[in-house]
Amino acid sequence: MNATQRPPAAHHAAHAPHSATPAPTPALQRLGLHRLRALPQPAERAMHAQHDAELEQMLPVLGPLFGLGMVLFSVWDLLLDPHLARYTLALRALAVLAGSAAYFPNALCWSVQRRCTHIYVTHVGALVLCEFLLPQGLVYGLAGIAACNFAAALCTLRLPVLARMLAGPAALYVALSVWRLPWLECVSGLMQYAFAVALAVVVLLVMRVFQQKSFLLEQQLLHLSQHDSLTGACNRRYLEEVAERELALAQRHGRKLAVAMLDIDHFKQVNDQYGHETGDRVLQALVRTCHAGLREIDHFGRLGGEEFVCVLPETDREDALRCAERLRHSLSMLAIATPFGPLHFTVSVGVAVYGPGHANWPALLHDADLALYRAKHDGRNRVALAHAR
């Protein structure tokens, strides 16, 4: 590589302190791995979607168990009033039957949160009505009603959803308690109910903390498995996955696709003259610059060593050449601070555009590699376009 020392004022400075463990990449910072409480909206939606998917799998089992528990409360009804127990049993069975459609996704085309709300309202609403029919049922049955609040807190990570779930049965309990109970028992019952609701909110918040930690750790492990630990670029395995997916879309729907392969010129000289630490900083600066110059739909990965690849969906030949030239120019303007002065480096770029002759990803990458070889043969620090097949 042509490593020259120029005055710092001649070019923009772009350097960062090096350490054995690279700084968190922008993707991980967007996920909020450095701060637990404030997740960005995309990560927040992904966490809720993951929780809903887990709840979707458990609901066909937990829903019937919850309904069975509501019916088994009839045993307690027999102890309070055997004559009314058959009526409360019928009421409980009807409520469970009305809510059972929400146990399975194919019965009701609702979201899993809405189905959980439907189950809770029908089942617990019937429970409150049954306690109202029984003598002193609203007093003795408060523990069972409060226990249902904790079950509701496990069904969501969102306070508004929990509020909607609890609102109907809570309003029914308050109205029936004011109507039936003496004022002292009514106030005592309402205070206990409010305390149970507050504990349910605490359970939700605790569950959210654990879910968020689990989600962030899973996302971090996924990121580490898909990205290069030094630079933060996609690793070769993950890059091949996304490239094959983009190629399949281009083949199936006739979309445009281009590939640009970058290689640092004379990179071995950088390691020999400035040390591998400076070489690592060069690689990191290259990845930061390329990430900043690419679109969100583009993919940038490291093949190995100083070779990198850009996968450019929805990009024709002219746009691909302009993108490659823009990256080449931006990288040539970088200056890496070293004890010997600013270090400048250049890259050679080979561009290949998807065509009928590219049956698979290795064929497209091979053409980009041939174009890169021609760019280096023609003098380096330039962009070359692969010949059409």
Amino acid identity of residue 369, one-letter, is D
Helix axis angle, 112-133 relative to 41-72, nearest 10°? 30
Sign of CA dihedral 65, 71, 77, 78: negative
pLDDT, residue 121, reads 94
User: Domain locations in the chain?
Assistant: 41-224, 231-385
Query: Is 145 or 199 the better-scoring residue by pLDDT?
Result: 199
Average pLDDT over residues 44-56: 91
Per-residue pLDDT of 82-94, as tens digits, reads: 888 889 999 999 9
> Tokens 């605790």 map to which residue?
206
Phi and psi at residue 347, to the nearest 5°: -130, 155
pLDDT, residue 329, reads 96
- The yes/no answer on whether domain 231-385 falls in CATH 3.30.70.270 is yes
Confidence check: pLDDT of 23 > 50: no
Per-residue pLDDT of 294-332, as tens digits, reads: 999 999 999 989 999 999 999 999 999 999 999 999 999
> Tokens 């750790």 map to which residue?
217
> Tokens 């498995």 map to which residue?
225
pTM score, whole prediction: 0.67
pLDDT, residue 70, reads 86
Average pLDDT over the chain reads 87
Q: How does strand 347-353 pair with strand 383-385?
A: parallel
